[in-house]
Amino acid sequence: MKTYDEAIDYLFNQRPAFERQGAGGYKPGLQTTIALDNAYGNPHRKYKTIHVAGTNGKGSVSHLLAAVLQSQGYKVGLYTSPHFVDFAERIKVNGKPIPHNRVVEFVNDCQQQENDLNPSFFELTTTLAFKYFAECDVDFAVIEVGLGGRLDSTNIITPIMSVITNISLDHTDFLGNTVADIAREKAGIMKAGVPVVIGEAHDELRTVFADCARTVGAQVCFAQDHDEIEDVEPGALSMELTTRSHGVISCQLTGTYQAKNALTTLTAINVLKEIGVKIDDSAVKQGFATVCTLTSFRGRWTVVNDTPLVVCDSGHNVAGLSCAMAQLNTLKCEQLHIVIGFMADKDVESVLELLPTGARYYFTQASTPRALGSEKLAEMCQRRGLLGDCFSDVAIAYETAINNAKPKDVVYVGGSMYVLAEMFAHIDAKHD
């Protein structure tokens, strides 16, 4: 294995990978990850970890926590998925992606140690992240769950704090058909004696989480019980939060739904301080104000152009997309253009009910076998009065929308993180 591209090809195409194969690439269970971790000397035990799960918002919360810890002066590892343009985005230390040569070295080492484990893409990637963080001697690593919680490869860690952002129906084939079933799977990251912060849970889910925490012996804290955020002033480039503990905070994440993620994060910060982690108010303010800059975070209500206004968002299930559509409805424009594409294994029919009928659509598909074909998507949308044209290439769909849009129009790109990934790759290539 000589090149980075060859290493990435091995990880994605020679190993089971859920992101490319869907159900065929999903490999639940911890045995293989534990075996790999043992082979590399249990690197995850060499630094403190924070574990973040949830249906929506776990990426935003993970990046906010990492940014605040960085602002305090800690060396911080951040493991998230999926990536937008480059695999290395998944594994960062103080916002900088893992060097390509380190990925190549790891893959070469894995190939030399071939055995009967047959590790999946995510099992190998998780091991690489844990190993790299140890080699970098990080103080903390913020670890985002890949899928679910209980059987996710990341769940071999014993963190100093766990966070579960929220629960909605997603990945029902693997996690359960009800929100209560999914909540129990995600509650599987709870550990004895480790405090857990729940971002959003009402009625039945609150009971589920409380019961799970009591069973394992974890202290649970519900963010919604704390009036930490007193006022929210949304804006195009930043969101201003008036908080009880930290005064006025400017947040670089601008989607109105980010107020919920901010509350979860601020609650988690208070818990970290209670267990002895030094975090000053100035670090909280700097981390929130520069989270995208510090961690290279994008894809959550990200403005990529001003005239016409172009916004992208990775919300792809009912809960996530409904938040994005609610904010989109607050924008004034002469014509709304929507570039949209979905994964075929999602509940697309339910999501389509959220899309506005007055927009001009550009139906597209990401270049992955999991993608729903643009023509099939167009047929489904037409039955709901959503009209537009089909594009088999995301970049062409995006450029067509931009060329059609007038200065006072708005262009929205979304439906899938994979659609955004190809749009970002196209934009980055234009700027190089």
pLDDT of residue 73: 98
The amino acid that residue 388 corresponds to is: G
**In 3-state terms, what secondary structure has residue 127?**
helix
Rounded to 5 degrees, φ, ψ at 364 are -140, 180
Specify the pLDDT at position 13: 80
CB 254 within 8 A of CB 301: yes
Task: Look up residue 189 and give its DSSP letter.
Answer: G
Contact 173, 345 (CB under 8 A): yes
State the pLDDT at residue 319. 76
Residue 251 forms beta bridges with which residues? 239
Number of H helices, E strands in the chain: 17, 17
Question: What is the DSSP code (8-state) at residue 371?
Answer: B
Residues 256, 404: Cα–Cα separation, whole Å: 27
- CA–CA dist 226, 127 (Å, integer): 36
Angle between helices 121-135 and 4-13 (to 10 degrees): 130
C-alpha 81/C-alpha 301 separation (Å) is 17
Written as six digits, the tokens of 261 are 């993620």
> Closest Cα partner for 263 from 295, 287, 230?
230
Q: What fold does the segment set 302-431 form as a domain?
A: Protein-Tyrosine Phosphatase; Chain A (3.90.190)
CA gap 241, 228 in Å, rounded: 10
DSSP character for 372?
P
Contact indicator for 342, 372 with CB cutoff of 8 Å? yes
Note the helical H segments in 240-393.
Answer: 258-274, 281-289, 291-295, 318-328, 348-352, 374-382
Amino acid residing at 337: H
Neighbours of 23 (CB within 10 A): 11
Give the length of the chain.
Answer: 432
Q: Which region holds residue 203: left if phi is over 0, alpha if psi is between -120 and 50, else beta? A: left
Structure tokens at 164: 């579960």
CA–CA distance, 188 with 151 (Å, rounded to integer): 8
127, 36 contact by CB (below 8 A): yes
- Structure tokens, 38: 């043992």
Contact 49, 140 (CB under 8 A): yes
pLDDT (0 to 100) of residue 75: 98
Q: Where in the chain is the domain with CATH 3.40.1190.10?
A: 4-295
Q: What is the pTM of this model?
A: 0.86
Distances (CA, A) of 47 to 138, 215, 330: 6, 27, 44
φ/ψ (deg, to 5) at 47: -155, 165
Q: What is the pLDDT of residue 17?
A: 45
Q: Cis omega (within 30 of 0) on the bond before 308?
A: yes
Distance (Å, rounded) from C-alpha 94 to C-alpha 296? 10
The span from the CA of 271 to the CA of 341, in Å, is: 39
Q: What is the pLDDT of residue 23?
A: 44
Domain with CATH 3.90.190.20 in the chain: 302-431
Q: How far apart, in whole angstroms, are the C-alpha atoms of residue 180 and residue 172?
A: 11
Residue 25 has a pLDDT of 41
Distance CA 256, CA 233 (A): 9
Task: Give mean pLDDT in consecutive 10-residue pieces for the chain, a chain of 432 residues.
Answer: 88 62 54 93 98 93 98 98 91 98 94 75 95 98 92 96 86 62 93 97 92 97 93 81 94 86 97 98 97 91 90 84 86 94 90 94 94 96 96 97 97 93 91 70
Phi and psi (nearest 5°) for 296? 60, 40
Euclidean distance between the first and the last CA atom of the chain, given in angstroms as a whole number: 27
| Of 17, 44, 39, the residue nearest 157 (C-alpha) | 44
CATH class, range 4-295: alpha beta
pLDDT on residue 128: 97
